[in-house]
């Protein structure tokens, strides 16, 4: 905690320090009586940041800290709603005071629950790349919407269904095995009669097979609509994602076996 020691420097002290070339920072003088902020999801949240000490706004090298930069950036870009993870909830009391000090209107703040691992640690974007390879956009969309959002049922388009009242407050424990479940369910749903999504799936399978086997393909007939759809229909329940169809156990569908 910073002890606010520089709050009581006199004009003479400041002039002397500047003359000696001492490095300095610019801090925000926090209000002692600031207690609560309004969040669109969590409601009225009490937090008095005064006891943490005056935060740095401009560092000694002249660069701004996140506290100042995010406020200025959002204001200049005319951001109406600031939506971010709830780990920033306690810092928002500082940000509100920066808005007030600059004479700017406050945006609406919405702090979202976090995605966490099964051990309680925060999920990192560096962790997830290895899990998402090969899944359809629809499967990924529904998998992500499942955690913390409250979207009902399967979805192919979320914008028309979104409302902040459907968000939940608690952190979501991400179970990546559910990605396979969503992919399997979506595949069955599409093959049962969603023609527009079936066309997208057929086109995606066409590209996968072409990229994987190229000149080794046994016949151009395999690219016909009826063959690709028949392949999808007969293998549903046995695969979780399209990429499974270019694995070794299914290569007999696309190339002639070696003898």
pLDDT at res. 108 = 95
Q: Is the pLDDT of residue 17 over 90?
A: yes
What is the rounded average pLDDT of the residues 176-188? 80
* 187-246 per-position pLDDT tens digit: 777 777 667 777 778 888 888 888 888 777 766 666 677 787 788 788 877 888 888 888
122 tagged catalytic = no
pTM for this entry: 0.70
| Annotated catalytic residue, options 44, 125, 130, 195 | 125
Report domain extents, the chain: 5-112, 125-253
* 28-80 per-position pLDDT tens digit: 998 887 668 899 889 998 888 878 889 999 999 999 999 999 999 999 999 99
* 134-161 per-position pLDDT tens digit: 777 778 888 877 776 656 666 666 666 6
CATH says 5-112 is which class? alpha beta
pLDDT at res. 39 = 92
First to last CA, the chain: 75
In three-state secondary structure terms, 10 is: coil
Supply φ then ψ for residue 191, to 5 degrees. -70, -20
**Residues 6+ positions from 222 with CB-CB distance below 8 Å:** 209, 228, 253, 254
């Amino acid at each position: 905690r910073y002890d606010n020691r520089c709050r009581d420097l006199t004009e003479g002290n400041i002039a002397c320090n500047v003359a000696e070339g001492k490095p300095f920072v610019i801090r925000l003088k926090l209000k002692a009586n600031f207690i609560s902020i309004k969040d669109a999801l969590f409601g009225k949240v009490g937090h008095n940041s005064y006891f943490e000490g005056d935060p740095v706004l401009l560092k000694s090298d002249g660069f701004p800290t996140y506290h100042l930069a995010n406020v200025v950036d959002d204001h200049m870009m005319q951001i109406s709603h600031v939506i971010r993870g709830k780990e920033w909830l306690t810092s928002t009391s500082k940000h509100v005071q920066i808005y007030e000090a600059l004479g700017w209107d406050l945006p609406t703040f919405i702090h979202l629950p976090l995605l966490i691992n099964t051990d309680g640690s925060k999920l990192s974007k560096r962790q997830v790349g290895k899990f998402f390879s090969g899944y359809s956009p629809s499967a990924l969309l529904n998998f992500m919407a499942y955690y913390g959002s409250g979207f009902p049922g399967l979805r192919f388009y979320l914008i028309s269904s979104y409302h902040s009242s459907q968000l939940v407050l608690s952190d979501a424990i991400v179970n990546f095995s559910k990605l396979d479940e969503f992919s399997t369910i979506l595949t069955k749903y599409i093959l049962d009669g969603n023609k527009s999504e079936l066309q997208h799936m057929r086109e995606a399978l066409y590209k996968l097979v072409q990229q994987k086997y190229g000149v080794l393909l046994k016949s151009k007939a395999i690219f016909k609509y009826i063959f690709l759809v028949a392949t999808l229909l007969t293998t549903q329940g046995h695969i979780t994602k399209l990429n499974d169809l270019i694995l070794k156990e299914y290569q007999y569908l696309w190339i002639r076996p070696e003898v």
